[in-house]
Structure 1
Amino acid sequence: MSNKSTALGTEPIGSLLIKQAVPASIGILVMSLNILVDTIFVGNWIGSIAIAAINVVLPISFFIAALGMAIGIGGSSIISRALGSGNKERALKTFGNQISLTVLLTSAMVFFGLLFINELIPAFGGKGDIFEPAKIYYRIVLYGVPLLALSMMGNTVIRAEGKPKFAMIAMIIPSFGNLILDYIFIYKMDMGMAGAAWATTISYGLSFLYILYFFVSSKSELKISLPHFGLNLSVLKEMSALGFVTLARQAVVSVTYLLMNNILFDIGGEASIASYGIIARMLMFALFPVLGVTQGFLPIAGYNYGGQQFERVRESINKAILYAAGLGLLIFILIMTFPETIVSVFTNDGEILSKTPHYMRWVFAATPIIAIQLIGSAYFQAIGKAVPALLLTLTRQGFFFIPLIFILPHYFGELGVWISFPVADVLSTIVTGYFLNREIRKTLKE
C-alpha cells in the first residue's frame, strides 16, 4: 500500500480492508496472547487467586488507559476526514490536542486512583483472599497506565494515517516484552504479583517509546509544532463527543466487571471470579480477527466519507460485515468444540475445570452475528455522528447485558449470569442492524 493516506480513497475496498485488518488483527492477537499467556503464567506460577486479583484490577487500569483510546479514536475520526478532504492543518491541530488532553486527564486519574486504592479494589470485587494480591498488582500497574494511554492514542492516529503495519508493531513490541519479563520476574526471580505487575508496566513503556519514535521520525505525515499543543475549543468539542463513545464503552465494561465480580462472588465465591477471569481473557483473545476487521474498517470509512465517496463507504460496510461474520463463525465452532481443552491450559483446579467450559459455551453462543453490532456502531463513529455511535455502542452491555445479569440469576442461578451474554448479543445486533440500514438508505444514496 502507498505510504500516503490517499491510498485509503483509491485502492480497491476488498484488498484495502485486508491490508488494514490483517495488521490490526495481528496486533490485537499478539496483545491478546500477551494477556492470555500472562494469565496462564500467573495461574500456574502464582495460583488461581492471582487470576482473580488481576481480573479485579484490569477494569480500573483499563478505564484510565481507555481515556487515551477514547481521545485517540475521537481525534482519529477527525484526522481521517481532514486528510480525506485535504485539510492537513486541522489534522495537525487535532493530533496536538490529543497529546495534551491525554497527558492531563490520565495523570489526574492516576493520582485519584492511587489516593482511593483501598476503596476501589473492594468495590471491584477484590474481597477476601483477593484483596492483598490485587492491591500489590494495582499499585505498580497504575504507574505505567499514562504511557499505555499515550500508546493507545498514538496507535489510532497511526491507523488514521493509513499505516496499519506500524500500528501492528506498536502492539507487538510490548506484548513480547511483557511475556519475556513475566518469565524473568515471576519464574526466575520469584517476585510473585509484583513481578507480574512490573512486567506489565515496563511493557507499556516499550510501546510508548516505539510510538514516540514513529512520530518524531520521517515515518509520519503529522509533523506537529508547539502551537498545535494549545487546546482548541472546537477541536476538543468534536473530539470529546466522538471519543466519549469509546470512553462510555469502556466505562460500561468496567462497570460490568464490577458487577460481575460482585455478583459471582456472592453466588460462587473466588472460584466463580476465577472462571470469569478465564472466560474474559478468551473473549479478548478469541475475537481478535473480528476486532481487527472493525479497526481496519474505521479509517477506510472515515476517509472516504470525508471525501464524499459514498459508494466506497457502502462497499466497505458490506465487506467488513461479511469478513467479520465469517471469522465469527469460525471462532464459534472452535469454542463450542474445545472448551475443556482451553480451560485446562489456565488451571488444574477441579472446581473451575468442572464448570467453566459449560459457561464458556454460553458466553460465545451468539458470536457469528456480533459483526453487525460492531461494524454498525463503528460506522457512526467513523463518520463523526457521536450520538448514534454512543447509543449503539451502549446497547449491548449498557441497555441489555447489565439489566439481564440482575434479572436472570433469580431464575437460573449462576447460569443466568452466563446466559445474559448471548441474549444481550442478539438484542443489540437487531437494534444496530435496524439503525445501520436506515442510515445507509438515508445518507449513502447512489
Structure 2
Amino acid sequence: MKQKIQSERLGTEPIPKLLKNLSVPAVIGMFVMALYNVVDTIFISYGVGIEGVAGVTVAFPIMMIMMAVSAAMGIGGASVISRRLGARREQDANHVFGNVISVIFIISLAGVIAAFTVLEPMLRLFGATEAILGHASSYMFPILLGTFFFSFAFATNNIVRSEGNAKFAMMTMIIPAVINIILDPIFIFGLNMGVQGAAIATVISQASVTIVLLRYFLTGKSSLKLSVADLKLKWSILKEVIAVGLPAFAQQAAGSIMMIAINTMLIRFGGDLHVGVFGIIQRIIMFTVMPMMGIMQGMQPIVGYNYGAKNFERLRETVILGLKVTILMSFLTFGLVMTVPHWLMMIFTSDPVVIDAGVEYLRIMFAAVFLVGVQVVGSGLYQALGKPKQALILSLSRQLIFLIPLVLILPHFIGVYGVWLAFPISDFFACLLASTLLYRDRAIFFGKGTQEQETATIPASSGS
C-alpha cells in the first residue's frame, strides 16, 4: 500500500510541492555526482598533471557510448513505467522493468569483451596521441570491466524516480559519489596508481550502489516487482522503450561524437594542453548544467503520470513551473562564469598557463548558457510524454546538428578559437528550435489538450 500511495501522489499532490520534493533530491544528487567528477579531475590534475586530464578526456567518449545504451533503457523504461503506473497497469510495468534489466546484462558483456579486444584501437581512433594514450588506456580498462555496475546504477536510478521515490534516487547518486571521493586520494596518491587508481575508485563506488539498488528492488521496497519471467526479452516492450529512450541514446551518442570531434580539432589546431583544458571546462559545464537536469528529472515522473492519467491541467502547471526554474538557473550560471572564471579554474590547477587559457575559453563557451534551460526542459518533456520524434530532434539539435559541424568548420577559419566559439552559437540555435517546437505543441501544455491526447488510450498490453 505504501508503494502504491508513493506513485499515486504524482496525480494528487500540489504541483509546486511535488516538483520541489522530486526535483530537490534530483538536484542534490546531480550536484554530488558532478562533484565527484570534479574531484576526480582535481586529483588527476594535481596527482598526474594536465596530461592525465587529457588522457581521461580522450577516453571519455568510450564511457559515453557505454552509458548511452544505459540511458536509453533507463530513461525510456522510466517513461513507459510511469505511464503504466498512471494507467493502473502494475503488471505491465513489471514486464518493462524486467526487460530493462536483461538489456543491461547484454551491455555489460559487451563492455567486458571490448576491454580485452578493441580498447587501444578505439582510443587511437578517438584522437589519443602517444603522450596521452597510456593514461587513457589505464583509465578505461577498469571502467569497461565494471560496465555492469555503471549501467545498472544509471538505468535503475531513472526507474526509481519514475515511481516517485526521489529521495532514494538521490541517495543512489550520493552513495557512490561519497565513496569515490574518499577512495580517490587513497588510490591516486596513497597507492600511487595515477589515473588507473581514479578508475578503480569509481568502479568500486558504482559496485557499492548496485548492491543497494538490488536490495531495494528485491526486498519489496519498490512499487515494481521483478520475476524471472519478466526477464525474457519481448520485442513489443523493447520497441516502446527504445522508441522513447532513443533520444536519450542519441543525446549521449552525439555527446561522444562531439567529444571526439572536439578533441581531434583541439589537437590539430592546438595541442594536448588544449585537450586538458577542455577536460577541466567539461567538468565545469557538468557541474553548472546538472542542477537544470535535476529539475527536468523531477518533472518527468509528474508529466508521465499525469499524461497517462489524462490530468492535463497538472501537466501544464508542471511545464510552466519547470521552465521558470530552469531559465532562472541558466541566468545564474551565466553570471557566475562571467564574473569569477579564474576562481573556477583555480579549483582544478595551480598552473598559470592552464588557468589563463581556461579563463578565456570559459567565457567564450558560456556566452549563451542562459539559453540552455529551454533546451533541457523541452527534451525531457517530450521524453516523459512518450513522443520520441520531438525528443529525438531536441536531443540531437545542440550537439549533432549544430555543435559538431561548427566545431569541424570554424577552426579552419579562426583557428582553435573556432572550437570554443561553436558552443554559444549552437546554444542559440538549439534554444530557437526548442522554443519553436514547444510553441507549436502549446495546445498540450497551455490549452485543453488536443483531441488526440484527450481520446487516446495507453496501448493495451500485448504480451508486454
Equivalent residue for 2:21, pick from 4, 19, 22: 19
In the alignment, what sits opposite 1:73? Answer: 75
In the alignment, what sits opposite 1:353? Answer: 355
Partners of 1:148 and 1:207 within 8 A in 2: no
Partners of 1:145 and 1:204 within 8 A in 2: no
Deviation of the 1:376 alpha carbon: 0.9
Partners of 2:218 and 2:226 within 8 A in 1: no
Comparing 238-247 and 108-117, the one that deviates more: 108-117
The separation in 2 between residues aligned to 1:25 and 1:443, in whole angstroms, is: 24
Partners of 2:316 and 2:445 within 8 A in 1: no
TM-score by length of 2: 0.93
The separation in 2 between residues aligned to 1:218 and 1:91, in whole angstroms, is: 15
Q: Deviations over 1:329-357 (max 9, x none)?
A: 11111111111111122122232122111
Equivalent residue for 1:150, pick from 146, 149, 152: 152
Q: Which letter maps to 1:304?
A: N
Q: Deviations over 1:281-334 (max 9, x none)?
A: 101111221111011111111111000011111111111010011111111111
In the alignment, what sits opposite 1:275? Answer: 277
In the alignment, what sits opposite 1:210? Answer: 212
Partners of 1:69 and 1:152 within 8 A in 2: yes
The separation in 2 between residues aligned to 1:93 and 1:182, in whole angstroms, is: 38
The separation in 1 between residues aligned to 2:364 and 2:13, in whole angstroms, is: 40
Q: Which letter maps to 2:352?
A: G
Asked if residue 85 in structure 1 is aligned to residue 91 in structure 2, the reply is no
Gaps of 5+ in 2: 449-464
Note the 1:337-416 alignment, pairs <5 A: 337-416=339-418
Note the 1:189-338 alignment, pairs <5 A: 189-338=191-340
Q: Which letter maps to 1:28?
A: M
In the alignment, what sits opposite 1:57? Answer: 59
Deviation of the 1:66 alpha carbon: 2.6
Partners of 1:92 and 1:224 within 8 A in 2: yes
Q: Which letter maps to 2:291?
A: P
Q: Which letter maps to 1:238?
A: E
The separation in 2 between residues aligned to 1:62 and 1:395, in whole angstroms, is: 18
Partners of 1:66 and 1:149 within 8 A in 2: no
Partners of 2:102 and 2:231 within 8 A in 1: yes
The separation in 2 between residues aligned to 1:32 and 1:234, in whole angstroms, is: 36
Q: Which letter maps to 1:217?
A: T
The separation in 1 between residues aligned to 2:228 and 2:204, in whole angstroms, is: 28
Q: Which letter maps to 2:427?
A: D
Deviation of the 1:410 alpha carbon: 2.4
The separation in 1 between residues aligned to 2:338 and 2:107, in whole angstroms, is: 42
The separation in 2 between residues aligned to 1:299 and 1:44, in whole angstroms, is: 41
Q: Secondary structure at the match of 2:225?
A: coil
Deviation of the 1:445 alpha carbon: 3.2
Comparing 326-335 and 60-69, the one that deviates more: 60-69
Deviation of the 1:113 alpha carbon: 4.8
The separation in 2 between residues aligned to 1:137 and 1:304, in whole angstroms, is: 43
The separation in 2 between residues aligned to 1:283 and 1:114, in whole angstroms, is: 32
Partners of 2:23 and 2:299 within 8 A in 1: yes
The separation in 2 between residues aligned to 1:16 and 1:114, in whole angstroms, is: 46
TM-score by length of 1: 0.97
The separation in 2 between residues aligned to 1:76 and 1:70, in whole angstroms, is: 10
Q: Deviations over 1:355-383 (max 9, x none)?
A: 11111112112222211111111111111
Asked if residue 38 in structure 1 is aligned to residue 19 in structure 2, the reply is no
Deviation of the 1:388 alpha carbon: 1.4
In the alignment, what sits opposite 2:461? Answer: none
- Number of aligned residue pairs: 446
Q: Which letter maps to 2:439?
A: N
Partners of 1:249 and 1:394 within 8 A in 2: yes
In the alignment, what sits opposite 1:173? Answer: 175
Q: Which letter maps to 1:306?
A: G
The separation in 2 between residues aligned to 1:229 and 1:218, in whole angstroms, is: 17
Among all aligned residue pairs of Structure 1 and Structure 2, give the percentage whose two residues are the same amino acid: 38
Q: Which letter maps to 1:418?
A: W
Q: Which letter maps to 1:234?
A: S
Comparing 115-124 and 255-264, the one that deviates more: 115-124
Q: Secondary structure at the match of 1:348?
A: coil
Change (3 A) 1:113 1:250: farther
In the alignment, what sits opposite 1:429? Answer: 431
Partners of 1:290 and 1:327 within 8 A in 2: yes
The separation in 2 between residues aligned to 1:412 and 1:327, in whole angstroms, is: 32
Q: Deviations over 1:193-243 (max 9, x none)?
A: 221121111111012111112111232111121111111221110001111
In the alignment, what sits opposite 1:138? Answer: 140
Partners of 2:31 and 2:291 within 8 A in 1: yes
The separation in 1 between residues aligned to 2:195 and 2:317, in whole angstroms, is: 48
Partners of 2:312 and 2:444 within 8 A in 1: no
Q: Deviations over 1:154-185 (max 9, x none)?
A: 10110001000100000111111111111111
The separation in 1 between residues aligned to 2:54 and 2:410, in whole angstroms, is: 23
The separation in 2 between residues aligned to 1:137 and 1:276, in whole angstroms, is: 18
Deviation of the 1:110 alpha carbon: 3.5
Comparing 111-120 and 148-157, the one that deviates more: 111-120
Partners of 1:65 and 1:106 within 8 A in 2: no
Gaps of 5+ in 1: none
Q: Deviations over 1:90-147 (max 9, x none)?
A: 1010000100011113322441353111211112221121001111111111111221
Q: Which runs of 4+ in 1 moved over 4 A?
A: none
Q: Which letter maps to 1:232?
A: K
Q: Deviations over 1:60-89 (max 9, x none)?
A: 023212311210110111100011111111
